[in-house]
Amino acid sequence: MTKICACLMIAALLFCCLFAACTPKNDVNEVLKDTLKIEILKIGKADCSIITDGKISIVIDCGEEDDSAEISAAMDALGISSIDYLIITHYDKDHVGGAPALLKKYKVSKLFEPDYTPVDTTAYAYTSYRNALTEAKANGKCESAEAVSDSVDLTVSDIKLNIAGTFGKDYAKNQDNNDSLVVSLEHLGNSFLFAGDIEKQRIADMLSQGRVQPCDFLKVPHHGVYNSKLEDFFSNVNMKYAVVTCSDKNPAEQKTLDLLTAKGCRTFLTSNGTVHIRSTQSGIVITQ
């Protein structure tokens, strides 16, 4: 009888071990399959966000010209060999500067750019970008490009994407920044907002037009430069997490950081390193 009991106990233990070993592995595989990865790079006071779920790849902004090698290395590390959607929020050198190198190295299925002419059409970053885009379209590296004035909605894989322009508004003051494309992304119930470099006037217009919706994550506009509409903007977004793209040399303004603290959201500064975001059905996890 004792031997029988011992055998039963051993069998039960073996079953439990087998169950414990198998179930978590399946759960992990399921989570990994549905994970959206977002990398917001540490490249100084410049913007580049790389987004992929393993099937679709999205790049929002390309930093400065000198950042292109680092951006390519980050994309290679994520296993990205082509870009499905390349989004240029505006034509400042810290957002478009690295685009020529990416257009040369990667095939781009669709490029989105803002529908405005910059203040300085002779600026090196802008002319280099325009020449690179013309060449990429001619040689088939960029299949199509669209200037967004109103908005574009896309649904691919588990990702819903909205790219919003100015809806025809002409900004005379701080034109390049206020003409930024604003990108909203949803994935498995998690929501993200990438606000380019929008400033006070554009924020005020978006608020009055009801174009600011709550979301879980915010890429803070304009590298954390303060303006008097940010408090209302943050209140409407009501984010849990925020990232400011800044550097030790060009830090975010303290008044902006104080507002983020007052809102109770977790704030990450790219001056402290690249921000790694993972979105799953269970929510959002951010590490740095």
Tens of pLDDT, residues 50-107: 999 999 999 999 999 999 999 999 999 999 999 999 999 999 999 999 999 999 999 9
Mean of pLDDT values over 251-264: 98
Q: Which domain holds residue 242?
A: 34-287
How wide is the angle at C-alpha 60 spanned by C-alphas 200 and 91, nearest 5°?
Answer: 60
With respect to residue 14, please indicate whether it lies within any of the assigned structural domains: no
Rounded CA separation 186/7 (Å): 53
With respect to residue 280, please indicate whether it lies within any of the assigned structural domains: yes
- pLDDT at 230 > cutoff 90: yes
With respect to residue 16, please indicate whether it lies within any of the assigned structural domains: no
With respect to residue 15, please indicate whether it lies within any of the assigned structural domains: no
With respect to residue 255, please indicate whether it lies within any of the assigned structural domains: yes
How wide is the angle at C-alpha 182 spanned by C-alphas 71 and 227, nearest 5°?
Answer: 100
What percent of the chain stands above pLDDT 90?
A: 86
pLDDT band (50, 70, 90) for residue 173: confident
Which pLDDT score, from 0 to 100, does residue 91 have? Answer: 98
Which pLDDT score, from 0 to 100, does residue 33 have? Answer: 63
* Residue 38's CATH number: 3.60.15.10
258 near 238, Cβ under 8 Å?
no
- Sorted by sequence, the CB contacts under 8 Å of residue 223 that are 6+ apart come out as 45, 47, 197, 244, 245, 246, 250, 252
Mean pLDDT over each residue of the chain, to the nearest integer: 91
Considering only CA atoms, give the Rg of the chain. Answer: 22
Give start and end residues of each alpha helix (H) in 139-179. 175-178
Summarised one tens digit per residue, pLDDT across range 123-137 is 999 999 999 999 999
Mean of pLDDT values over 232-237: 98
With respect to residue 111, please indicate whether it lies within any of the assigned structural domains: yes
What percent of the chain stands above pLDDT 70?
A: 89
With respect to residue 24, please indicate whether it lies within any of the assigned structural domains: no
How far, in whole angstroms, is CA 176 from its chain's centroid? 20
- pLDDT at 49 > cutoff 70: yes
- pLDDT at 237 > cutoff 70: yes
With respect to residue 209, please indicate whether it lies within any of the assigned structural domains: yes
Domain total of the chain: 1
